[in-house]
Structure 1
Amino acid sequence: MLVLGIETSCDESAAAVVEDGRRVRSSVIFSQVPLHQPYGGVVPEIASRSHVEKIGGVIGEAMREAFEPGAGGGPVLPEWWRQIDAVAVTYGPGLASSLIVGLSAAKGLALRLGKPLVGINHIEAHLHSVFLAPSAPEPLETGPLLGLVVSGGHTCWIDSDRPGRYRIIGQTLDDAAGEAFDKAAKLLGLGYPGGPAIDRVARQAARRDAVAFPKGSPRPGNPALGDMRAELCVSFSGLKTALMYRLREHPPRDEAEVAEIAAAYQEAIVEALAERCARALRGSRYRALAVGGGVSLNRRLRERLHEVTADAGVTLLMAEPRFCGDNAAMIAGLAGMGVGVTGEEAMRLDVAPALEAGE
């Protein structure tokens, strides 16, 4: 099965062609980071306008790369379109004004080609990204697994028996981990995007414990917990506030002190994530921990999750670096596994900015 995937949930215009859910024939991403850097974060209006301008060209490039690798420009041949079996697209969660661009493009393309449309949950697709590597195990042979999706917009722990079966068992109650990194980088004057900046600066620090930051445990009985496990939920708002007060009361004297503060802040986030993974794995039925999302590129987080899974005796599955952030290969791949909204319901889909895994 050959699926064309389209992704425009935030600030990446992406398209990909994936065969049988795992073999990536092409993956093209136009990053808007330079457009948003002057503002220190994603500006929805700029993001949606850029998607409108770029998505057509990105789709064309993905098709050319899939069927005639290295050929460069030129038209997308009719016989290539005929080989596509379905068009898959992210319909949520994300920025409404960004999602609508990709969803509209996918619906129009599916109608024009006479191909099925598949609506894909962006969070669930991040978990599938770990199976896009040639060396990765078969998805249907891996479960049950614990999933951690950690990105700029999402931080959640997911129980999954198999592709298409997802249940959130813990999540952030406020800022996502990536958002916490972005806000800290802005306070420290490190620029945008904040996650890579803090990761880079923290590696220069002489120590990781120069500042004692809180590790984000929400108060028991918080009504926002719902049916989730309290010990698997996290709050990063207090961490951000602690950094703000630390910088106000004790401004860093030099770059070395900035590095130590960044390292301590990063360690607080990483430990909050790692500790919850360890809790969920302890005495569980899980055979693997699958980790997706842009923050999973963080080197310190990868170190700690290797330690956690080794202690628990389970397999650690992490996406290739090119598939950690938002991409369309994970969208097409998950659709190729038979997951997603299909049929007439797919053509009636509207964007779902607040969609959660398992919905």
Structure 2
Amino acid sequence: MTVLGIETSCDETAAAVVREGRDVLSSIVFSQVPLHQPYGGVVPEIASRSHIEKLPGVIGEALAAAGLEAAALDAVAVTYGPGLASSLLVGLSAAKGLAWSLNRPLIGINHVEAHIHSVFLAPDAPPAETVLPLLALVVSGGHSALVRVGADRRCRVLGQTLDDAAGEAFDKAAKLLGLGYPGGPVVEQAARRATHPAGIVFPQGRIGADNPALGRLQADLCFSFSGLKTSLLTHLRRHPLASDAQRDALAAAYQEAIVAALASRCERALQHGAFRALAVGGGVSLNGALRARLAEVAARAGVPLLLPLPRHCGDNAAMIAALAGMGGGVTGEAAFRLDATPGLPLGE
């Protein structure tokens, strides 16, 4: 099955053509980073306006790169949540109109579930059925969650952030340290330059079992990064930056707190031997320190570590089309009744 995927959940306008769930024929991403850099974060109105302007051309480019006419498509897949409401609406409306005009099925895809599936787009990735059930860490600017993917491919959240996502924590640190935007790459670059310890250990966000925000989630598998951001802000007020070397050292210590928090929860979830693999998806999965630490965690647990290709770590449409091609998502008449769902949970 040849599927056109459309992704507009946040600030990337993307379209891709994928055959049989794994063969990426094309993947086009228009990044809005320059539009949002002056504001230090994503501005929803700017994002949705840019999607409206760029999406038709991005779709056309994806079809041309795949060497296909729209009539050759077997289905159209699109993200319908979670994400920014106004951004989601642009992609969903375009996908509905295109599918209707082509008389092709529409498939609605959960953005977070697609990030998990992105690991199977790597050429050396094993068939999904051979590594299920697996533990997935989804870590990005808007999401930080530990997810069980069962043998039936159904997803269940085991733990998640109770406040800010890891990517958001990186963005805040970059702003406080004067490093720029987006935060993840610039904090990592600064951390690599560090030549001496910062003299501070930042908190990893321990969560009490009596926290009312937990619901049915396990406290020791959940994350909290709001205290980490506050800790850096407080430190900088007491000890203003005096040199680039100090800035780099703080970036390294801050990154270590995030990496350690993510890795320790993964290790805890893997310790009972209930999973056949550890998969990591989302924009923060590109972080080199995190990849190295999780490789150690997976090795100790005796399971393979599945990572997406760098180009599939951030938001992209290849993962949307791929998941649809593997049988995921909402199909039939129900797909055409879908609305943009900013808070869409996993499993729906």
How far 1:284 moved relative to its partner?
2.3
Partner of 2:259: 270
Render the CA deviation track for 1:266-299: whole Å, top value 9, x for unaligned. Answer: 0000000000000000022201000000000111
Paired position in structure 2 for 1:73: none
Cross-structure match for 2:175: 186
Which position in structure 2 is the counterpart of 1:146? 135
The answer to whether the Cα contact below 8 Å between 2:16 and 2:59 also exists between their aligned partners in 1 is yes
SS at structure 2 position matched to 1:290: strand
TM superposition shift of 1:209: 5.7
In the alignment, structure 1 residue 219 sits paired with structure 2 residue 214: no
Listed as ranges, the matches of 1:59-138 within 5 Å are 59-67=59-67, 80-138=69-127
Work out whether residues 21 and 323 of structure 2, in 8 Å CA contact, stay in contact via their aligned partners in 1.
yes
Aligned to 2:304: 315
Match of 1:21 in 2: 21
User: Partner of 1:120: helix, strand, or coil?
Assistant: strand
In the TM superposition, residue 58 of structure 1 has moved relative to its aligned partner by 0.2
The answer to whether structure 1 residue 44 and structure 2 residue 44 are counterparts is yes
What does residue 72 of structure 1 align with?
Answer: none
Contact 2:198/2:246 (<8 A) preserved? no
Contact conserved, 1:164 with 1:340, CA < 8 A, in 2?
Answer: no
Residue 163 and residue 85 in structure 1: after superposition, are their counterparts in 2 closer, same or farther (change >3 A)?
farther
Q: What's 1:329 paired with?
A: 318
Provide closer, same or farther for how the CA distance between residues 123 and 62 of structure 1 changes in structure 2, counting only shifts above 3 A: same
1:110 partner letter: A
Aligned match of 1:77:
none
| 1:279 correspondence with 2:265 | no
Structure 1: how far apart are the matches of 2:209 and 2:177?
32
Q: CA deviation at 1:162?
A: 3.8
Query: How far apart are the structure 2 equivalents of 1:233 and 1:294?
Result: 19
Name the SS of the counterpart of 1:36 in structure 2.
helix
Shift of 1:313: 0.6
1:163/1:104 Cα in 2 relative to 1: closer, same or farther (>3 Å)? farther
Aligned to 1:203, the other structure's residue is in SS state: helix
Number of the residue aligned with 1:76: none
Partner of 1:24, secondary structure, is: strand
Root-mean-square deviation (Å): 1.0
1:208 offset after TM fit, Å?
A: 5.1
Q: How far off is 1:182 after superposition?
A: 0.1
Contact 1:139 1:163 in 2 (8 A): no
Q: Tell me whether 1:196 sits opposite 2:182 in the alignment.
A: no
Unmatched runs of 5 consecutive residues or more in structure 2? none
Give matches, 1:236-315, under 5 Å. 236-315=225-304
Assess if the C-alpha contact under 8 Å between 1:216 and 1:236 holds in 2.
yes
Cα–Cα, structure 1 residues 208 and 317, in superposed 2: closer, same or farther, change >3 Å? farther
Summarize the Cα distance change of 1:162–1:335 in structure 2 as closer, same or farther, 3 Å threshold: farther
SS in 1 for 2:234: helix
Equivalent residue runs for 1:151-166 within 5 Å: 151-162=140-151, 164-166=153-155
Q: 1:17·1:329 contact (CA, 8 Å) conserved in 2? A: yes
| Distance in 2 separating the partners of 1:55 and 1:18 | 18
- Mark the CA change 1:172 to 1:200 in structure 2 (over 3 Å): closer, same or farther: same
Distance 1:208 1:151 in 2: 27
Query: How far does the alpha carbon of each residue in 1:281-328 deviate from its partner, in whole angstroms, 9 at most, with x for none?
Result: 002220100000000011110110011001111000000000000000
In terms of mean alpha carbon deviation, does 88-97 or 224-233 score higher? 224-233
**CA–CA separation in structure 1 for the residues paired with 2:10 and 2:341:** 13
Q: What is the deviation of 1:219?
A: 2.1
Residues 335/42 of structure 1: CA separation in 2 closer, same or farther (3 Å cut): same
- Distance in 2, Cα, partners of 1:190 & 1:100: 32
Deviant stretches of 4+, over 4 Å: none
Kept in 1: contact 2:273–2:301 (CA 8 A): no
The share of aligned pairs that are identical, in percent, is: 67
Q: Within 2, Cα distance between the matches of 1:162 and 1:84?
A: 29
In the alignment, residue 342 of structure 2 is paired with which amino acid? P
How many Å apart are 1:177 and its aligned residue?
0.1
**Contact persistence 2:81–2:342 (CA under 8 A):** yes
